Structure 1
């Protein structure tokens, strides 16, 4: 039986599981929908994470002694979800501890062996963190869509929906977002009126929005980015960038060096963000070192290995990255 570790990066949109041996070789991978317990019922969140782990274990050969499982997970902690995860992972071969840490904790080790630096992210959620000695020292925002996540995919999607409503009612400017969002929902625009006297398209739009889980508004974020030549969409993207820049200013310690990692499906499309962060760094006398990360799965593996008392230096990190990429291409 193979002895291995299980590392899972859990975001609002995707859960990616990786089975790795103690030398950093990727043995199996699995992906499923988002498992953030703040935006999914605990049973659905747990099921998505377990399904990703099952695929990874199956690809690793099925008979695996998992000495440690680590989840880098977005959202609030939930006791019921943890119970389900513990039960599911034990069935997969977990013989050691189940460890939970924040998904942002996995960003820096995904691209650098450094244990000090900064992470600025905008995916389904958003915020900024400062990492010192390998531990999260400070967090700005990342409080979830009910309390913050300003400039996130949810924020963009929510405000796109508000802009479409205002445009259809005639109390807001016309915007390319109307056609994009209604088309995404397969709602036709016509001159007809609904029974409540609203434009029929608006009535259908309101009904569609309230039939969605709130976090699903983040699915409109790519439409905002695609329409960024439109004045309304451009204003939304610019405001999202301002929120993230301010997050970084608040978390930045001018006395601490370290790379700045930008991550998340939205942040990577914010063209002004790297330059604005570089300006803050230069003003403090730092040479900007800004790196992009697609997801935190590599970092989750690094954290799992470090919890198993395995040193991960730059050479080991590059080995992990290559091993994961190599298995992904098979």
Structure 2
């Protein structure tokens, strides 16, 4: 991805801003990527929409400089922004207004970041995506623009799962095993051992008092899958529950789009689903095959910013060759079917 010098705005400024990192890409008319930049997490839920979007400005400026775009005018003719926490209409509107105020493009379109994964895994804007990373969410899209979405704001909107939830569930069962309220599980030994602590009492105190960082707590989630793979029934039940939730989202979205009995791609992404947990993926495939036999599950590891850029190219009605060139610019690990 070379650097260019030009005063002409690019075709698309693509932004994929998630809870863990943010990627920006400036895409030329022919689909080549003129520049990229990566930054930290995007947390409008903590900072507020305006402050969070203002925090993107240095990242966009860095990409702009690398692309050789001089001056202070628009970076691109169209801005395609896929943003975490753009869940409710009021959040979507506030984020959209904040991006308009930045003046990065003549037109803008804001999506929840789940749509970036969805479009990254498709050859056309038609499919369902389930992202299971720190949290869990799902989105569906048809070529005519019809969408299926979920509030995805946690337990109060019916959500269960994601890495940020699973480690807490694992601790819940481990704690009850130790104090006699629940069945025995290897989690009660494996979790504190992973954290370098003597037992569950010490682990509970460390989490409660903030001695373990958010990253260290999230690091307990892979322990759950390892214990499940070794045959622990309590851990295995949690893995099965996560598979059920992934499939419930996908099937609900397909039903709402009216495609449950059609051949339809189901894109799976996010850290939990791309980590290669065999038990989880086999259970997802089994349950999905029962509920929607014609569904086509695929695990996608393409950077979501590619999806944001493709949504932008869809918006400006770029020809197919332009989209292919964009994907070539981001060529990386191969995508594969999960079946």
Partner of 2:305: 297
Whole-angstrom CA distance in 2 between matches of 1:157 and 1:98? 37
Whole-angstrom CA distance in 2 between matches of 1:44 and 1:175? 44
1:274 aligns with 2:285: yes
Equivalent in 116, 120, 123 of residue 133 of structure 2? 123
Partner of 2:227: 227
| Structure 2 gaps, min length 5 | 1-6, 333-339
Contact 2:265 2:298 in 1 (8 A): yes
Equivalent in 306, 320, 323 of residue 329 of structure 2? 323
1:147 aligns with 2:193: no
Equivalent residues in 2 for 1:185-200, closer than 5 Å: 185=195, 188-189=197-198, 199-200=201-202
How far is 1:96 from its partner? 1.6
Equivalent in 10, 26, 50 of residue 33 of structure 2? 26
How far is 1:325 from its partner? 3.3
Contact 1:141 1:150 in 2 (8 A): no
| Structure 1 gaps, min length 5 | 191-197
CA 1:290–1:24: 2 relative to 1, 3 Å: same
Equivalent residues in 2 for 1:58-207, closer than 5 Å: 58-63=65-70, 65-75=75-85, 76=87, 77=91, 85-87=99-101, 89-90=102-103, 94-133=104-143, 135-140=145-150, 142-144=152-154, 146-178=156-188, 181-182=191-192, 185=195, 188-189=197-198, 199-207=201-209
Equivalent in 246, 263, 269 of residue 263 of structure 1? 269
Contact 2:195 2:203 in 1 (8 A): no
Partner of 1:9: 16
Secondary structure in 2 matching 1:100: strand
**Normalized against structure 1, the TM-score is what?**
0.77
Whole-angstrom CA distance in 1 between matches of 2:133 and 2:203? 29
Equivalent residues in 2 for 1:207-218, closer than 5 Å: 207-208=209-210, 218=218
Contact 2:8 2:69 in 1 (8 A): no
CA 1:232–1:48: 2 relative to 1, 3 Å: farther
Partner of 1:56: 63
Whole-angstrom CA distance in 2 between matches of 1:137 and 1:84? 24
Secondary structure in 1 matching 2:123: coil
Whole-angstrom CA distance in 2 between matches of 1:265 and 1:117? 20
Secondary structure in 2 matching 1:259: strand
Contact 2:244 2:287 in 1 (8 A): no
Secondary structure in 2 matching 1:160: helix
How far is 1:240 from its partner? 0.6
